Structure 1
């Protein structure tokens, strides 16, 4: 029986000794109390405490943590909006005691300060300004939290405005405004493109008319040169200029009739179009040339006669 009692005593003794050994994980701090009184902070690694008398009151996370807070408030232009604020914070290693004993629930404390700052800043801004100046809101939240939480052993690493969600009707109105604005820009671009097309088409037509006119002028110049050469050839064989001109016109008349006859689908009729039209045209032209020459000669004689009469009149006579 004595040996059994010794074994039991040794067994419980080992358990008591082992209960004084504990391990603390990396980036974690353990709070040790003795009879409810704070004794010390144990950092990562294998640690010891007095069995039975000492106990681990709690563990404090030293890593960076994030708390997301959703705040609903009203802007200056009376639009209700929900903002999601992400707060990244960390317990300082030298202030584990304050972080553990001074605050019952640090998350609630941080949330309260976020609500206070956001509802003080956003009502000063219009909705568009909230989107444009969200960094200013984040900076204001961080400044207020740093000032309030530093005395509790917390460092505010960063604050971010991660979401801005206006009322559903406001979002629909904003979407309609954006759509109308985009349609306006698209219409302006389409109008500008149409204007460019019209200008380009007008320039092309103007250039085409210019080239067409130049071509017609060149064509007429070559026709006149050809007629001049034809008249010279006919003059060399004893045909005067009037007869040569009439002959050329008649030749062109028959050439025109021939080209019209080659086109089966043409509805053009050249007047006059009788078999004797060519000879009648030639006779009429020769007669008109002769009559114009006679009139020209008579006018020349009349002018010469008037000149002689004026020279014979004495000075002073009307």
Structure 2
């Protein structure tokens, strides 16, 4: 009798323990009785009627990600591959719909992604696809939310994580980019060269201006020195003409001395007789005298011309009065 009860006791213990089960965190278990939905069990320790109840399935309540690779054509006839990452989650209050209404949610989401991407991308050129990838992601999310909410799924986020054109197109884009950068570099180099030329021209102009100013100051100081020398000689009884002759002769011999001291200079022939300075002075005085005479004659001619013009204008005025 005891031997007969032991198998029954063991069987009863097995049956009892088969009615105990646990559900993990962020997971929901679907319990059916005789193939019919019975209840949804959340995380924790649970009991079910052995033999009559069974766990039909478990649903993950965590946020999941599905990567979909879509190949399509742009408006400018370029084939491109887009990688769309869809983050979705089962709505806790609609676990029944998520389990019973949809057999394979990943396939369903993939179909909608293909449909939206192949409807949106052919409207754009390749450059626009890169610039407006967020618009594509928003369109996919909107379409998926509208479709998947009926099945108990919430679309958290959609991302366009990769845009991969054809290899030849990529190479052409790289060449265009390189050409654009070379063009910009050439423009900057030309601008830098222009700035150098302008700066050099301004520096040369400033140098010439300062050089001219220096020469003018030098000549002004020379003239002032000559004037002071003449005044000194006049004070000791030497008249202006004699003083000028003495200064010219002195400058003449100073010039000869400085040329002689310069060993690397070329040979220059200059008059070096005592009469040379006097001749130079006489020539200068004759030139100044002739210049003054010409200037006086021009003044007289202009004065006569002015008198004639006044008389003519007076005659016209008298005729007008008549």
When normalised by structure 2's length, the TM-score is 0.84
- Structure-1 separation of matches of 2:150 and 2:58: 20
Query: 1:272 corresponds to which residue?
Result: 270
When residues 13 and 214 of structure 1 are mapped into structure 2, their CA distance, relative to the original with a 3 A threshold, is same
Q: How far is 1:287 from its partner?
A: 5.4
When residues 104 and 264 of structure 1 are mapped into structure 2, their CA distance, relative to the original with a 3 A threshold, is same
Query: 2:243 corresponds to which residue?
Result: 244
CA contact (8 A) 1:250 1:278 kept: no
Query: 1:18 corresponds to which residue?
Result: 17
Query: 2:255 corresponds to which residue?
Result: 256
Alignment of 1:97-108 (within 5 A): 97-108=96-107
- Structure-1 separation of matches of 2:197 and 2:264: 36
Q: How far is 1:294 from its partner?
A: 10
When residues 142 and 284 of structure 1 are mapped into structure 2, their CA distance, relative to the original with a 3 A threshold, is same
- Structure-2 separation of matches of 1:258 and 1:206: 35
Q: How far is 1:117 from its partner?
A: 0.7
CA contact (8 A) 2:248 2:281 kept: no
When residues 295 and 59 of structure 1 are mapped into structure 2, their CA distance, relative to the original with a 3 A threshold, is closer
Task: Verify: 1:138 aligned to 2:133, yes or no.
Answer: no
Deviation track 1:275-296 (CA, whole Å, cap 9, x = no partner) reads xx14131342465578789999
- Structure-2 separation of matches of 1:5 and 1:214: 134
- Structure-1 separation of matches of 2:6 and 2:258: 139
Q: How far is 1:122 from its partner?
A: 0.6
Query: 1:306 corresponds to which residue?
Result: none
When normalised by structure 1's length, the TM-score is 0.85
- Structure-2 separation of matches of 1:157 and 1:142: 8
Moved more, 286-295 or 113-122: 286-295
- Structure-1 separation of matches of 2:153 and 2:35: 24
Query: 1:35 corresponds to which residue?
Result: 34
Moved more, 196-205 or 37-46: 196-205
Runs (4+) off by over 3 Å: 285-296
Alignment of 1:184-223 (within 5 A): 184-223=183-222
Query: 1:90 corresponds to which residue?
Result: 89
Q: Structure 2 regions of 5+ residues with no counterpart?
A: 295-322
Query: 1:314 corresponds to which residue?
Result: none
When residues 291 and 31 of structure 1 are mapped into structure 2, their CA distance, relative to the original with a 3 A threshold, is closer
- Structure-2 separation of matches of 1:5 and 1:61: 45
Tell me the secondary structure at the aligned position of residue 45 of structure 2.
strand
CA contact (8 A) 1:117 1:144 kept: yes
When residues 40 and 67 of structure 1 are mapped into structure 2, their CA distance, relative to the original with a 3 A threshold, is same
- Structure-1 separation of matches of 2:187 and 2:78: 32
- Structure-1 separation of matches of 2:122 and 2:290: 105
Q: How far is 1:7 from its partner?
A: 3.0
Tell me the secondary structure at the aligned position of residue 68 of structure 1.
strand
Deviation track 1:205-255 (CA, whole Å, cap 9, x = no partner) reads 222211111111111011011111112222233333223222212222222
